[in-house]
Amino acid sequence: MQREFPEVPLIGVGAIIIENARVVLVKRAHPPLQAEWSIPGGVLEVGELVREAAVREAREETGLTVEPLELLGVYDRVLRDSQQRVQYHYVLIDFLCRRVAGELSASSDAAEVRWFTREELAGLNLAEDTMEVILKGLSKG
């Protein structure tokens, strides 16, 4: 699967993990969005259901076992290079999730992982649709 300059869009899943009016975010260790805070998630694997992928990605990146509760949204993420070529193209499917087990710890593609309050989100450089889905999750969680 070619993630950079793909021939077809890739399907990504995100886990909006809410607990005590806080959300889990990961600081990405690799491109795209390297060194930026984002929702735990990744690319759907062949034969995997989207909810299964959200559980797997949450566990791989945060150390938490989660239960997906509801679909919060489907978003387009198209990142272009300096010549306006499509460098990354994802269709992102984000689920509201609750922790069922585990302790927060960065692993896999995450350089860092932590809980954020609504107030702390304002200081982060999050994409508009990322902030939108997080706030939606916080309002339901």
Please give the positions annotated as active site: 112
Instruction: Assess contact for 40 and 129: CB atoms under 8 A.
Output: no
Q: What sign does the CA torsion over 80, 41, 24, 97 have?
A: positive
User: What's the distance, Cα to Cα, between the start and end of the chain in Å?
Assistant: 34
Q: Hey, what are 57's tokens?
A: 């990605």
CA distance 118 to 104: 18
Q: Hey, what are 40's tokens?
A: 């735990």
CA distance 39 to 61: 10
